[in-house]
């Protein structure tokens, strides 16, 4: 601003300075001092404008495009060839209809599904959930659904019956698998992988007369119930090798009333005691 003021003052001085030895401004029609003052003013304004432009130009310029390092493409790892799981090797090939030949009704099988099986009231995934069967537990196959995808089984642990997904049973060690119907095509049954063997039920007399003492031979123990039926109230459990006294049998002979050494009495599934 001081620079502009000084130039304007110079213009005023030049415009009013008498021009000696030259013609009068009135004679020429345009004063020479005014022309010089205008020239100086234009130059000053141009210099000022250039300074302003040098200051504002960087502010008005668009930002530079950011530069990023070049992306490096990472090749995906090759997918490993997975070997058949134990579940796949143990399962048999089931036909879409008919009875799977490896475990026809009446056969005994061992659960090979690692997470166990869900027991349902009907041969459908929508059937009411009635409990679960753990891996390694032994059951008896009673019948198959019309499409062959479900099995009605009876648990040997407590006599519970219900429907489970077919194709999840393996052979029971030491038990022969029932033969298939003549019309059923032969199916290769894969033997289960070698692992820690499940407890084997010892041989022994299972029909005991009332009054004798018996030892529990079921590896998973027995459920003690208040009445001789699988819906009876659960009142305790008997571990394997516990010695009890047989008191009586139910009318159908499938249940035994026993007395434990601590005096507790109840009903257990018959056929799971050996004479002591």
Give the confidence band of 97 by pLDDT, cuts at 50, 70, 90. Answer: very low
What CATH class is the domain 86-170? mainly beta
Average pLDDT, integer, range 130-155: 90
- Flag whether pLDDT at 251 surpasses 70: yes
Q: Check residue 178 and give its pLDDT.
A: 45
**pLDDT at 71 (0 to 100):** 67
User: pLDDT value at position 154?
Assistant: 92
In the predicted model, is pLDDT for residue 267 greater than 70? yes
Sheet holding 243-249, edge to edge: 234-238, 222-225, 265-269, 255-259, 243-249, 213-216, 273-275
Residue 153 has pLDDT above 90, yes or no: yes
- 241: Cβ contacts below 8 Å, ≥ 6 apart: 215, 216, 217
H or E segment to which residue 4 belongs = helix 2-16
Does 202 have pLDDT greater than 70?
Answer: no
pLDDT of residue 274: 87
Looking at the DSSP bridge assignments, the partners of residue 153 are 141, 162
Bridge partners of 170, per DSSP, are: 110
**Average confidence (pLDDT) over 3-17:** 54
**Mean pLDDT over the full length of the chain:** 75
Q: Where are the domains of the chain?
A: 2-57, 86-170, 213-275
Q: So what's the pLDDT on residue 72?
A: 67
Give the model's pLDDT for residue 86: 47
Same fold, 86-170 and 213-275: yes
**Residue keyed to tokens 């008997």:** 238
**Which stretch of 28-32, 104-108, 214-218 has the lowest confidence by average pLDDT?**
28-32
* Superfamily designation of domain 213-275: SH3 Domains (2.30.30.40)
Residue 29 in this model has a pLDDT that exceeds 60? no
Mean pLDDT of 188-207: 51
pTM summary value: 0.34
Task: State residue 38's pLDDT score.
Answer: 83
When pLDDT is averaged across residues 52-57 and rounded to a whole number, the result is 85
Integer angstrom CA distances of residue 121 from 125, 130, 152, 162, 228: 10, 7, 9, 6, 21
Q: Is residue 255 a contact partner of residue 268, using CB atoms and an 8 Å limit?
A: yes
**CA dist., res. 62 & res. 238, Å (int):** 85
Whether 201 contacts 171, CB under 8 Å: no
**Do residues 258 and 245 make contact, with C-beta atoms less than 8 angstroms apart?**
yes
Residues 6+ apart with CB under 8 A from 225: 232, 233, 234, 235, 266, 267, 268
What average pLDDT does the segment 233-261 reach? 90
pLDDT score of 12:
56
Decide if pLDDT at 181 tops 50.
no
């Amino acid at each position: 601003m001081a620079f502009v003021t000084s130039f304007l003052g110079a213009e005023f001085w030049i415009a009013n300075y008498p021009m000696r030895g030259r013609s009068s401004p009135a004679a020429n029609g345009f004063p020479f001092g005014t022309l010089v003052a205008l020239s100086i003013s234009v130059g000053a304004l141009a210099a000022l404008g250039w300074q302003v432009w040098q200051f504002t130009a960087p502010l008005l310029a668009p930002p530079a495009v950011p530069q990023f390092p070049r992306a490096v493409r990472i090749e995906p790892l090759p997918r490993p060839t997975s070997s058949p799981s134990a579940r796949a090797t143990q399962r048999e090939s089931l036909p879409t209809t008919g009875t799977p030949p490896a475990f026809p009704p009446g056969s005994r099988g061992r659960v090979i599904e690692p997470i166990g099986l869900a027991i349902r009231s009907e041969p459908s995934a929508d059937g009411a959930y009635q409990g679960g069967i753990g891996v390694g537990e032994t059951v008896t196959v009673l019948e198959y659904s019309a499409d062959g995808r479900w099995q009605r089984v009876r648990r040997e642990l407590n006599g519970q019956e219900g429907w489970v997904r077919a194709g999840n049973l393996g052979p029971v060690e030491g038990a022969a698998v029932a033969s298939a119907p003549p019309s059923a095509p032969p199916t290769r049954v894969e033997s289960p992988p070698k692992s820690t063997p499940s407890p084997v039920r010892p041989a022994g007399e299972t029909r005991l007369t009332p009054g004798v003492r018996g030892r529990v031979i079921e590896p998973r123990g027995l459920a003690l119930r208040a009445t001789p039926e699988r819906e009876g109230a659960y009142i305790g459990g008997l571990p394997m090798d516990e010695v009890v006294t047989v008191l009586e049998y139910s009318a159908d002979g499938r249940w035994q009333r026993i007395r434990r050494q601590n005096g507790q009495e109840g009903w257990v599934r018959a056929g799971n005691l050996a004479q002591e």
